[in-house]
Structures are given as structure tokens and as C-alpha cells.
Amino acid sequence: MLLQNAVLSVFALLACSNFVLSKIIDVSDENFSKVSKKKSFIMIFATEKDCRECKRLFPRFVSVAQAFEGKDDVLFGKVKDRSLIEAFNITKFPTIVYFEQGNAEPVHYKGDISVDSIFEKMKKEMKKDISLLKRQYTILCTYENFKDIIETPSQFKFLLIFDDESKEEIKMMEDLAKIFKNDDDIIFPLISVKERSVVRNFGAQNFPVLYWYPNVNKAVKKMYGGTFNINELLGFINQHTSIGRQMNGDLRTDSGQIDEFNKFIEDNTFNFQQAASVNMALIQKQAQEIADSIPLFRQRYTDYYMTLINGIAESGNLDETLDNEQTEVETELAKKLRPKRKDFFQRKKNILDKFMSEHSKLLAQIMAGDNPMAMQGIDLPTEEQKQDTKKDKKPKSKDPKKAAKPTKKKADKGDKKPDAKKVEL
């Protein structure tokens, strides 16, 4: 009876969406020969216990496998078995290996662990046309894989619980997942209301419904209170993740930038310009305090801000540091890079552009005769204060003949006694 209910649940799930369940086999040294028999292509995801990056990237592997559901000659597997891992000559994690039909030696996959990159490799290496298979960027969750997907640490998640009438919402989530397909910091899981043992834990009464999981170590969920509008959802994601994607999937010009550091740059551009003659150690300390307050998921870009600031301090030359970095970044971007690496250098360029933009503003102010120190919040003395300072610093005459003599004044009744220290010139 339990088996019958499980089968009916699967068929109900398939009927209410265009998505299919992925079947990823746990392979080991004991069962590999059996499960790989008569397979035309085998793709294995190698992981190990407590591998943080493995957990973050495995959902992409699941998404690829979804497109091959029903293709009995293709095997998607996951391996933790140490003896099999050693046999595959795997030394770092995560690693994907694949086997072509008739080839007993594994080939190590070298590309990005993303839906498109894996799919393109399979299309190239398989001996059959798979171009008609529909790529899926969301992850369909079941009772079996829900915990592994949702409890992935340090990753944002936008989860949709859908019912039979949720076709538009499912498509919207698929479109969003495609926009962020190269961003490992966020995934888009889906789960059917038919998965009652999982859905009942959410307490939702109406469907479809969205839940947002912040990038924290614990799977803390919050019900999304906005509307099912792709522009609104895109804005929400960019606001809460700082990933910075446009509707077409391109990066925004502020992607990678960190508001706290941008404000710091604006306030200290004059100091950077005068790096050889100011206390850069103090500025570096203040910058590090900002860096320590930034969430872990933005750390790689925090590190780049600090690299630039430390570089300016070390060289004592803002122009030289920015020029050298610009040459390096533009050289990398001119190469044929993998999508994720290209995004990485584009975000570095966006950060570098912020430094250069503020530097250009400073130079324009100087050319216009404006006071850049005052514009950066440094209080300078007014002309009146300068004159007063000059008077205070005016040396007294050493010649007693030239020294001014105080004039005596008869005090009227009610008048205050003159200050004996005051000298009228």
C-alpha cells in the first residue's frame, strides 16, 4: 500500500508541471559495475563529508540530470566512497568525472559546474544528439533530496511550493533561475504540494507560495510577501544578495561593489591621492574594520577592495596602482574565459571603476579650483580664521620703545574693571 501511494505521488507530481524527477544514484565500489552496465554515458559528481563547495554546487548537477529523466542509457551518479574516488584519481572536491561508452577510464571534467557548461560538454562527448532536451535551471525537490538541497550552507534560496494551477509561476521561477544560472550564491528549488510530508512543515494554506532563505548557515525561511512579478522578484533578489543581474542575465555596472566600501572611497579619495604623505596605516585599519563587518558571501569582493587600498598604501601612488590593476583586469577580460571567471573579473572591473570614477572627480575639482579637502568633509579654516591665526602668531617687538603702552581709562561707576591682561593697540 505504501509503495502504491508513493508511485501515485510521483505520477501526480509529473502531471502538474513540465518538470521531471531526477534520479541520481549513490555509487560505490560495490555497486558501480552493476549500475554502469549498458550505459552509453556516465556522469559522476564526487564529494566528501563537510565539503561546503560540494553542497553549493551539487544542485546544478541535479538540474542537469532532470533533463535526462527517462533516458535509461545515461547514468548520473554521486560518489563519496573513498576507494572509488581513489580509483577515479580524484584529489580535490567537488570534481565531476564522466565515462564514454566502452571506455573504462574516467575523464575529469574541466569546465564550470553549471547547467550550460555541463550540458555543452555532454552534447560534445555523447554519440547522440541531445539538443532537443530542455535545459532546466530550477531544482525539483522531493522528500528524498529536499534536506540536501535546502540545508546547503551559505546560499540564498527562493523556494516555490506549487500546485496544479501554478504553470505561470513555475515558468517565472525558471526564467529567474536562468538569469542567475552562473551565480552559485543562489538557487531556485521547486516542490509540489503533493510532497505532503515536506510541505506540511511550512504551514502554508494557499498556493503557489514563495519562501526566501537568507544566506546563513541555518536554513531559516521567510514567506515572501510581494507579488509574482518577475521585475519585482529580480529587484528583490538584487537588493538582498548584491549579485546585480539585469533581466537579460548580464551583470549590472554596480555588481560586485559594496556600499560601505564605496562610501569609504568617496570619503578618502583625497587621502589616496596623497598616499605618500598621509597616515595610510590608519586608513588601512579603518578599511579593515569595514571588511570585517561584511558578510562572508561577499568576501571575495571585500578582499579586492582591500587589495586596492593596500596596494595604494604600499606604492604611495594612486595612479600607478589603479593603472596596473586596470591593465591586469582588462587583459583577463580580453581572454576567452569561462562564464563564471568572466563574471569574476567583470565585478573586479566594476570595483576598480568606482575608484577611478572618484579619482576623476577629484582631479576635476582640482582643475576647477575647488577645495577637494573640504568636499571630502575635512574642515578647513575660513579666511577670517586664517587672519586671526596670523595675528595670534605675529611676533611681539623686542624693542621696549616700540612696544605699545596701555592707555589708562577712568572707570565710571557701574563699569566693570578693565581686564589687566587686555592690551589695546
Q: CA 405 to CA 116: how far, in whole Å?
A: 93
- pLDDT tens by residue, 211-248: 999 987 677 899 999 999 999 999 999 999 989 999 99
The residue with cell 577611478 is 356
Burial class from Cβ neighbours inside 10 Å (0-12, 13-18, 19+) for residue 19 reads buried
Provide the β-strand partners of residue 162: 192
Mean pLDDT computed over every residue of the chain: 84
Same domain, 206 and 171: yes
Identify each DSSP E strand in 136-279 by its residue range: 139-140, 156-162, 186-187, 189-192, 209-213, 222-223
Taking alpha carbons only, the member of 242, 235, 282, 280 closest to residue 259 is: 242
Q: 367, 382, 405 — which closes off a domain?
A: 367
Burial class from Cβ neighbours inside 10 Å (0-12, 13-18, 19+) for residue 148 reads middle
- pLDDT tens by residue, 345-366: 999 999 999 999 999 999 888 8
381, part of any domain: no
CB neighbour list of residue 12: distance below 8 Å, 6 or more residues apart: 192, 194
Q: Which grid coordinates belong to 24?
A: 541520481
Q: 211, 241, 271 — which closes off a domain?
A: 241
Same domain, 173 and 265: no
Helices (H) and strands (E) in the chain, counts: 16, 11
Domain of residue 196, CATH code: 3.40.30.10
Q: CA 348 to CA 306: how far, in whole Å?
A: 12
Same domain, 27 and 120: yes
Q: Which grid coordinates belong to 224?
A: 515572501
Q: CA 32 to CA 195: how far, in whole Å?
A: 30
Domain of residue 289, CATH code: 1.20.1150.12
Q: CA 171 to CA 162: how far, in whole Å?
A: 11
Q: How many domains does the chain have?
A: 3
pLDDT band at 19 (very low <50, low <70, confident <90, very high): very low
What is the reported pLDDT for 129? 86
CB atoms within 10 A of CB 31: 14
398, part of any domain: no
Type of residue at 272: F
235, part of any domain: yes
- pLDDT tens by residue, 40-99: 999 999 999 889 999 999 999 999 999 998 888 999 999 999 999 999 999 999 999 999
**This prediction's pTM:** 0.81
Same domain, 119 and 157: no
Burial class from Cβ neighbours inside 10 Å (0-12, 13-18, 19+) for residue 255 reads buried
What is the reported pLDDT for 373? 58
Q: Which domain holds residue 317?
A: 259-367
Same domain, 160 and 116: no
Same domain, 264 and 341: yes
Q: CA 15 to CA 13: how far, in whole Å?
A: 5
Same domain, 48 and 102: yes
